[in-house]
Each structure stands twice: as C-alpha cells, then as structure tokens.
Amino acid sequence: MDQTAHMHETFSQTIELADLPEGESRRCQFDGAAVALFRVEGCVYATQDECTHGRASLADGYLIGDEVECPLHQGMFNVRTGAVTAAPCTQALKTYAVEVRDGVIYLAPSSAKAESPTGQTPPKGDTA
Ligand code: FES
C-alpha cells in the first residue's frame, strides 16, 4: 500500500500561490463548496467561505494577523483553527488541509490533516 500516493490523490488543485498575496484572502471552490483561502506569514490556511453566523463571504472579510473579520457583523475567526474569536459568531468554521506544491495551492478535507503535519513551511525562492 502506498500511503503517500493515496494522500496526494485526496488533494485537489485550486489557485496559484502567486494569486494569493501575503495578508490577503481569495475564494475558491473545493468539493462542491466555497472555500476561503488566507495567506498569513507565508503560510496558507483554508476555511469554509460562508460565515457560520449568516450569509457572508469571509474571503470578502478583513484579515487581521491570523484572524478574519466577517464583513457583515464583524464576528471574527482564527483562520488557522477555524475557532471563533469574536461575537456574534458562536460556531467554529470548518477548516481544510492545505498543501503548496510547485507554486500551486492544493486542498483536502481536514481529516487529511493527520497525514499532513502542520509543519507547513513558507515556500522558498518566492520572488514576488
Ligand atoms: S454573518 Fe458573519 S458575523 Fe454575522
């Protein structure tokens, strides 16, 4: 059994890393759902795009450090963990496992995280 091959099959290609500048967010589609991508200190994090409090897109929110502020009622979440950090939100965001390979961002269901250690390192040789 080749566990590595299996893991890579789980990951799906989304956007290019170059299209997600530091400190910004982008919306993409993964597994039939809208996903918000965030770039914080060189690392990429992915959460569900829709706020758990209402119909707002978090990719349209404000990224402050590793927290995103919802554009509708200013609830906040930690983009690394999905945890709520400010009211009125009460329910955590779903998060996704992220892998960056050859300048492309890949996503997998968060259950794949166990196989993909969190030691995500900023890409080398980023000449942006
Ligand atoms: S919809 Fe996001 S805080 Fe209300």
- Residue 83 belongs to what domain range? 3-114
CATH at residue 76: 2.102.10.10
CA distance 46 to 49: 9
Dihedral pair phi/psi, residue 89, rounded to 5° = -70, 145
CA distance 25 to 20: 7
* CA-51 nearest atom, ligand 1: 2
Report the pLDDT value the prediction gives residue 118, as an integer from 0 to 100. 45
Report the pLDDT value the prediction gives residue 123, as an integer from 0 to 100. 54
- DSSP H helices, 1-128, are 3-10
Domain-embedded: residue 127: no
> What are 115's two structure tokens?
């196989």
> What are 14's two structure tokens?
């989304």
Domain-embedded: residue 128: no
Domain-embedded: residue 120: no
Measure 103 CA to ligand 1 centroid, in angstroms: 32
- Domain tally, the chain: 1
Return per-residue pLDDT of the chain as tens, 128 residues. Answer: 444 555 556 899 999 999 999 999 999 999 999 999 999 999 999 999 999 999 999 999 999 999 999 999 999 999 999 999 999 999 999 999 999 999 999 999 987 554 434 445 555 554 44
Within 6 A (CB) of ligand 1 lie: 51, 53-54, 56, 70, 72-73, 75, 88-89
**Distance, CA of 5 to chain centre:** 23
Domain-embedded: residue 125: no
